[in-house]
Amino acid sequence: MAKAKWNANTTVLGEASPADVVAFVKDRGIQIVDFKFTDLPGSWQHFSIMADELSEEVFEEGAGFDGSSIRGFMEIHESDMLLMPDPTTAIVDPALEVPTLSLICNVKDPVLGTAFTRDPRNVAQKAEAHLVKSGIGTVSYWGPELEFYIFDDIRYEQTPNSSFHRIDSVEGSWNTGKDEGPNLGFKPRYKEGYFPAPPTDSYQDFRSRAVLKMKECGIQVEMQHHEVGTAGQAEIDMRFNTLTRMADQTQLYKYILKNHARQCGKTITFMPKPLFMDNGSGMHVHQSIWKGKSNTFFDRGGYASLSQTALHYIGGLLTHAPALLAFCAPTTNSYRRLVPGYEAPINLVYSQRNRSACVRIPVYSKSEKSKRLEFRCPDPSANAYLALAAMLMAGLDGIKRKIKPGDPVDRDIYHLDAAAAAKVKQVPGSLEEVLNALEADHDFLLDGSVFTKDLIEMYIAYKREKEVDAIRLRPHPYEFHLYYDI
């Protein structure tokens, strides 16, 4: 009987069938079923049905919605689309009071009867299938490390004649002199937020409660801690998972944190660079390819125990990095973080241990199981489905073409002499540049029809119009400081 698969405390169904999900909804008194899917920029969208409307047929036939109202999807004359719920993603929604079952969905074109080419989750699934078809591996594993800020107040406004933003945080170093009735001190100094114990780290319990919510939803968490920035910068690291599952978890991770913060009277942002003069938030992505029970990246005799396959994969990442960043660092704000002369990973080289390189090979362990590489350029504003898929495609292209990554750089790149530093290539410095790079270099993404031209063209057009041009058209507040008295 299906009921035997859960108990009164079950919140995650796991490898469930449509029949299991329908039975669970009835057995547990679920009142609402929520369908979630991801738009092209990377935000979760959703709508809900009454629980008694859920049937096994819904999983086969889908649920209709207006695709013309979703960013990057369809025009108004072709708006009818279908959501196809994935029963293996069923969880009891952790953020809602009304008993609600949450299902992650794929998007389908009802006319063609095929998966929608601009559905990010579909792209991730095609990337995984392409890996298997290539013969290079049977599975890839991913471990993104998302950083974020926890604030107490955020205000911003843009009008034709004014513009401002103002952030506040009980942990903000700028509040050491504020009359807080009383001010109890212990506010992390700028760039000194890494690993201080409470009371300086005032968010230990906040993060722990968030981690426990994640655990209830099936996310395995390995670590949580305060990050370098003042004002509540933090990091919670998930245990590695397969590509699509990790992208699903990344969406759920953000959802849990944002709603947990709101319930606590706080607000969380995954903007790459919300504060001036302090650290930005990155999303360092650990990755490896396995073939059966063997890690294809491992060779005990290689540099940092890396195989030739891994080195060629790195060659693909470094070669295609300018185009990759259109998906991995996809906002104008991303390039407030990726700035030369600071700690951001802008140097297109690889190294063991060296965090000033774009690709780092962790050497904490000599075990084959732990051998992986870390691509450090991405940030958490990325659409995880597209970013992880794009990285895999770049790496596979490197393996296919045997792209050599050059020699490793195991010195602090920021202290190289001028001649040596001049030889180190750097990532582009703006969203406009990486979109141009993607426009010129995207054939590797089209291999196996993983990405499609219509997706790439829509993505570039959307980013140029809604983000690059939107910023270009507006005067920056600091320009008044620089130029008003000219």
Q: What is the domain partition of the chain in residue ranges?
A: 2-116, 134-483
Q: Residue 3 — very low, low, confident or very high, per pLDDT cuts 50/70/90?
A: very low
CATH 3.40.50.970 fits 134-483, yes or no: no
| pLDDT at site 32 | 97
Using only C-alpha atoms, what is the Rg of the chain? 23
**pLDDT tens string 348-405:** 999 987 777 899 998 888 889 999 999 999 999 999 999 999 999 999 999 999 999 9
Average pLDDT of the segment spanning 408-416: 80
**Residue 2 pLDDT > 50:** no
Q: What does the pLDDT read at residue 1?
A: 38
**Are 210 and 148 in contact, with CB atoms under 8 Å apart?**
no
The answer, yes or no, to whether residue 4 has pLDDT greater than 70, is no
Q: What torsion, rounded to 10 degrees, do the Cα atoms 384, 387, 392, 395 define?
A: -150
Mean pLDDT (whole number) for 424-430: 93
Active site residues: 66, 145, 147, 227, 235, 284, 355, 374, 376
Correct CATH for 2-116 of 3.30.499.10, 3.10.180.10, 3.10.20.70, 3.40.630.190: 3.10.20.70
8 Å CB contact between 130 and 389? no
Q: What percent of the chain has pLDDT over 70?
A: 99
Mean pLDDT of all residues in 438-444: 98
